[in-house]
Amino acid sequence: MLNFNSGKLTYVILLDEIDLKIIDALMKDGRKSFREIAREVGISTPTVKTRFDRLVKIGVIKKIVPIIDADKITNNINVAIMLKCKPNKVTNVIDELIEFDEVRKFYLLSNNIMLISSFSNPRELDEFLTRINGIDEIIDVSSQLITRIVKDEQIGVIDIGSMIKVRCEYCNKEIDKPLITKIKGYERYFCCTSCITLYKEKYRA
């Protein structure tokens, strides 16, 4: 469906109750099989797989990975780092920092950037802060040690009717009128025929 927000028309997909139940089951235990989820939700196993593939494809589920309890790792130095950038230079800083292996979590705030990083010793932390201070577009850096992780839940509230923005599979632009093409058994969303052609060439589809 189409959604008009902030003066821009975009194509969105609405999540329903079944989508939410599948997401909830996986958030409680990502090791559950499709068969287990099907029994829990009350639908068929193929339906769970189809819904899961769709949730992955539209970007609601990015990946399923083990969640490490950082408090259990005794030699970890976990640090919260706040950065203030020059006006209109935030995008440049994001492009540079996103490649840093030390960055575990990356948040763009209203006026700043916040990073959560982990290090095995103080020297690694000092070297990382030196690298950050060397970025011209950053005008202020402050950091604090994370002494204890009290709660670490996934950010975001998902409810029935939540609207998911759809982006082009090739160029990653938000789509207002998607071209839906089935490639290798999966429906994929594109903004134009050129992106479909380029996608097929890139992945030999």
Residue 172's CB is within 10 A of a number of other CB atoms, namely 10
- What does DSSP assign to residue 199? H
In whole angstroms, what is the distance from residue 156 CA to residue 25 CA? 16
> What pLDDT, on a 0 to 100 scale, did the predictor assign at position 1?
53
Answer yes or no: are the C-beta atoms of 128 and 117 closer than 8 Å: yes
**In the chain, % of residues over pLDDT 70:** 90
Tens of pLDDT along 20-34?
Answer: 999 999 988 989 999
| Distance of alpha carbon 22 from the chain centroid | 18
- What does DSSP assign to residue 155? -
Q: Which CATH architecture has domain 70-145?
A: 2-Layer Sandwich (3.30)
Could you tell me the pLDDT band of residue 151, with boundaries at 50, 70 and 90? Answer: confident
Kindly state the average pLDDT of the residues 179-201: 87
Tell me yes or no: is domain 1-67+158-166 CATH 3.20.10.10: no
Does pLDDT of 106 surpass 70?
A: yes
Higher pLDDT pick, 150 / 139:
139
- What does DSSP assign to residue 70? G
Could you tell me the pLDDT band of residue 186, with boundaries at 50, 70 and 90? Answer: confident
3-state secondary structure of 137: coil
Size (the chain), residues: 205
Residue-range domain boundaries for the chain? 1-67+158-166, 70-145, 168-205
> What pLDDT, on a 0 to 100 scale, did the predictor assign at position 11?
66
Question: Is the pTM for the entire model greater than 0.85?
Answer: no
In whole angstroms, what is the distance from residue 110 CA to residue 112 CA? 6
In whole angstroms, what is the distance from residue 33 CA to residue 31 CA? 6
Strands (E), 48-137: 77-85, 103-108, 113-119
